[in-house]
Amino acid sequence: MPLSRLPLVVTAEPDLLDDLLRLAAAGGTEVDVAADPMAARPRYAAAPLVVIGGDQVEACLRARLPRRSRTVVVSRAELPLPAVEAAHMLGAEHLAELPLAEPWLVDRFAEGADQNLGRVLAVIGGRGGAGASILAGGLAVTAVRAGHRTLLIDGDPLGGGLDLLLGWEQVDGLRWPALTDADGRVDPPALLDALPHRGDLVLLSFARDQLPAVPAEAMAATLDAGRRGRDMVVADLPRHLDDAAVLALQAADRAVLVVPAELRATAAAARVAQAVRLHRTDLSLVVRGPAPGKLKAREVAAAIGVPLAGSLRPEPAMCQALERGEAPAAGGKGPLAELCRRLIVELMRDERAGASA
């Protein structure tokens, strides 16, 4: 199920919540409500606007919710200094006191309701060498062929590098090391313009000579820029989930686990699926051939307990093309391209259904 794109209100104070629900209605939108940071976390990164009550701002900081843009802290009285400091550390752009700020807050809710945000698809390998990066690259290339402006995020520091997969290692632009100090206040168009890009495809990958961890704040800023400046964001995530990967998982409209049709790979993928379920309830599976033991895709899906999104037949010609520096699915033909087209159509169909609802 796609995550809600409604503004998120975080407060356990009944009177403040009543005020915020009234102001949101005046701005023409409903809101998601979370009483505390734990309830807010799964929706925090994806929300177009986050409004945190003064009663929860220090709790949100203690819960290590990441800095993000478009965050407002609202109270019915002047906040004490510790709460003000916590608001700044969370990246809050405004401190609003009611009732004085009511007209301004109605406008913010209206802006949040009008946001046309890009879709996010997360891809994770069920084991090393599962083919998640190839699927992520194929999705990005196929999305651009379908006319969608796309951001491809390499979130796996121990992967082979999506720039090599695309044949982009010589393309100029910023890599992760330049963004590790991003704190959620990055200007989305400026960030996208600074990354390696060709046509409508933008890439954020790792540098060859450095192996930095990706701070959650940098991932949050990048996802925000992608969702606001692109039609689609594809994130290739590590199976050992760090804070940045968890954030991307929670922000994604759909998450796909890739696993070869092998017994040991299935067992490994089951453990990865269990870890993913700690952060989101929905996950689908792509099973990649060949199947040396004749395991069928539906058998793998049943063993892992994850619904089957599709399967991939062996594609020797594509493997040879990758060694020559050609991007996956670049020709638009073959099993990978067909699967990518279907996954993208499903993702965008969910967006239209949500908009019409």
Judge whether 263 and 295 are in contact, CB under 8 Å: yes
Which is more confident, 276 or 67?
Answer: 276
Q: How far is CA 283 from the centre of its chain?
A: 14
User: What band does 300 get if pLDDT is binned at 50, 70 and 90?
Assistant: very high
Buried b (16+ CB within 10 A) or exposed e, 260-286: bbbeebbebbbebbeebeebbeebbbb
Q: How far is CA 259 from the centre of its chain?
A: 20
Paired with 256 in beta bridges are 123, 284
Cα separation of the two ends of the chain: 14
CB proximity list for 323: less than 8 A, separation 6 or greater: none
Q: Which tokens hold the place of 209?
A: 């000579």
Paired with 8 in beta bridges are 32, 50
Q: Which tokens hold the place of 274?
A: 């269990």
Does 8-114 match 119-356 in CATH topology? yes
CB proximity list for 155: less than 8 A, separation 6 or greater: 214, 219, 235, 236, 237, 238, 244, 245, 248
Neighbours of 246 (CB within 10 A): 21
* Top-confidence range, 171-175, 234-238, 239-243: 234-238
What is the reported pLDDT for 184?
52
Give the pLDDT mean for 274-279.
92
- Using the predicted structure, report yes or no on whether residue 338 has a pLDDT greater than 90: yes
For the stretch 241-245, contacts whose Cβ atoms lie closer than 8 Å and that sit 24 or more positions apart, written own/partner, are 241/275, 241/276, 241/279, 242/213, 242/214, 243/64, 243/66, 243/215, 243/216, 244/155, 244/213, 244/214, 244/215, 244/216, 244/218, 244/219, 245/155, 245/214, 245/219
pTM assigned to the model: 0.79
Secondary structure letter of residue 326 according to DSSP: P
122-126, 214-218, 318-322, 352-356: least confidently modelled range: 352-356
Torsion-angle region of residue 326: left (phi > 0), alpha (psi -120 to 50) or beta? beta
What pLDDT digit, counting tens, does each position of 91-101 carry?
Answer: 898 999 999 99
**Domain map (residue ranges) of the chain:** 8-114, 119-356
Helices (H) then strands (E): counts for the chain: 14, 13
Q: Distance between CA 200 and CA 143 in Å, rounded?
A: 9
User: What band does 356 get if pLDDT is binned at 50, 70 and 90?
Assistant: very low
What is the reported pLDDT for 1?
37
Per the prediction, the chain carries an average pLDDT of 89
Judge whether 10 and 50 are in contact, CB under 8 Å: yes
- Using the predicted structure, report yes or no on whether residue 354 has a pLDDT greater than 50: no
Cis bond upstream, residue 99 (ω within 30): yes
Q: Distance between CA 161 and CA 206 in Å, rounded?
A: 7
Q: Distance between CA 20 and CA 27 in Å, rounded?
A: 10
What is the reported pLDDT for 234?
98
Q: Distance between CA 117 and CA 67 in Å, rounded?
A: 19
Give the pLDDT mean for 116-124.
90
CATH homologous superfamily for the domain 8-114: Response regulator (3.40.50.2300)
User: What band does 2 get if pLDDT is binned at 50, 70 and 90?
Assistant: very low
Q: Which tokens hold the place of 93?
A: 């752009």
CB proximity list for 78: less than 8 A, separation 6 or greater: 97
Give the pLDDT mean for 123-139.
94
Judge whether 198 and 171 are in contact, CB under 8 Å: yes
Give the pLDDT mean for 342-346.
95
What pLDDT digit, counting tens, does each position of 188-233 carry?
Answer: 788 899 999 999 999 999 987 776 678 888 888 888 889 888 999 9
- Using the predicted structure, report yes or no on whether residue 142 has a pLDDT greater than 50: yes
What pLDDT digit, counting tens, does each position of 16-50 carry?
Answer: 999 999 999 999 999 999 999 999 988 887 788 99
CATH homologous superfamily for the domain 119-356: P-loop containing nucleotide triphosphate hydrolases (3.40.50.300)
